[in-house]
Amino acid sequence: MTAPAALPTAPPTVAPTAMPPAPLLRLAALSRSFGGLQVLHDVNLDIPRGGIFGLIGPNGAGKTTVFNLVTGLLQPSGGRIEFEGRTLVGLAPHDITRLGVARTFQNIRLFREMSLLDNVMAGLHAQLGYRLHDLVFGTPRFRRAEREARERARELLALVRLDHQLGDRADNLSYGNQRKLELARALASEPKLLLLDEPVAGMNSGEKDELMAEVRQIAERGYTIFVIEHDMRFVMGLCQDIAVLNFGRIIARGTPQAIQGDEQVIEAYLGREDGDGDDAAAEAAVAEGRAS
């Protein structure tokens, strides 16, 4: 009889301290073209778990396209998108939501004729623990799930200070409050990563300050936030880590101070002549290095 073969030895383990923490979201050589126009060129970007990460850049730089690729509304022409180490490429948007990625839109998308509460309840839909059978027969499980969803929707609306008008129609809200409602609805899916596309566009300065405090509060609850914004006061005041996209390429990444002092960034903002009001203000803010 031969002796049993020795068990294979386990591969050597790497001391945990030697490994940088895995990013929550990784974009690797991400590219996208529309017809003959390449709008993203080999974008590499690691977004760590926790905190508020900012993406800035002139109009048309490709920022929203990044969000559309991450959320599965568009497919990349090349490259990888990994969320918690798992590829998102090829997944349908609702599967990506289920994995823990939620977003708001640059052009607000709400159920305009529905109440605030129902808008957020719609966002909770994926989380509800009942099946069609429960819904059709109004089982206790369904009623309990409904009650819990309603309670959760109220909490989320309280987070953005809209809980005093739960029954109002969404289209009766001011523009700023519609953006907040969208934020509450995005939170309903319990995302690990929340993508905000120009959350303060169209808000007055009081509304911006309020939203800034609310976004900070949301981050403190453990959500990772990835925000696209032209408003420099908002970005520089909120984000610890910022990347700059210009003509589909990342040209800088760093702290607000580093970004404000970066020659290429200043050039990217000043080198254009077609800025609208928001952008012109952004250009001035970056150039002057105003942090708040």
d(CA 149, CA 127): 9
Among 23, 60, 93, 254, binds ligand ATP (CB under 6 A): 60
Q: Which stretch binds ligand ATP (CB under 6 A): 59-67, 93-101, 110-118, 282-290?
A: 59-67
104 binds ligand ATP (CB under 6 A): no
Tell me, what DSSP letter sits at residue 173?
S
Supply the minimum distance, in Å, between the C-beta of residue 45 and ligand ATP: 14
104 binds Mg ion (CB under 5 A): no
61 binds ligand ATP (CB under 6 A): yes
C-beta neighbour count of 3 within 10 angstroms: 5
Residue 20 near residue 68 (C-beta atoms within 8 A): no
Among 43, 53, 63, 105, binds ligand ATP (CB under 6 A): 63
64 binds Mg ion (CB under 5 A): yes
Beta bridge partners of 115: 169
Residue 127 near residue 100 (C-beta atoms within 8 A): no
Supply the minimum distance, in Å, between the C-beta of residue 106 and Mg ion: 5
31 binds ligand ATP (CB under 6 A): no
Comparing CA positions, the residue from 149, 155, 151, 176 lying closest to residue 218 is 155
Comparing CA positions, the residue from 68, 78, 85 lying closest to residue 22 is 85
Instruction: Tell me the C-alpha to C-alpha distance, in Å, between residue 118 and each of 21, 167, 182.
Output: 39, 8, 12
Residue 191 binding target from Mg ion, ligand ATP, none, CB below 5 to 8 Å by type: none
Q: Which residues, 6+ apart, have CB-to-CB distance to 204 below 8 Å?
A: 176
Binding characters for ligand ATP, 116-155, by CB under 6 A (x = yes): ----------------------------------------
Count H helices and E strands in the chain, helices first: 11, 10
Among 59, 75, 204, 205, binds ligand ATP (CB under 6 A): 59
Residue 60 binding target from Mg ion, ligand ATP, none, CB below 5 to 8 Å by type: ligand ATP
What is the binding site for ligand ATP (CB under 6 A)?
34, 39, 57, 59-65, 106
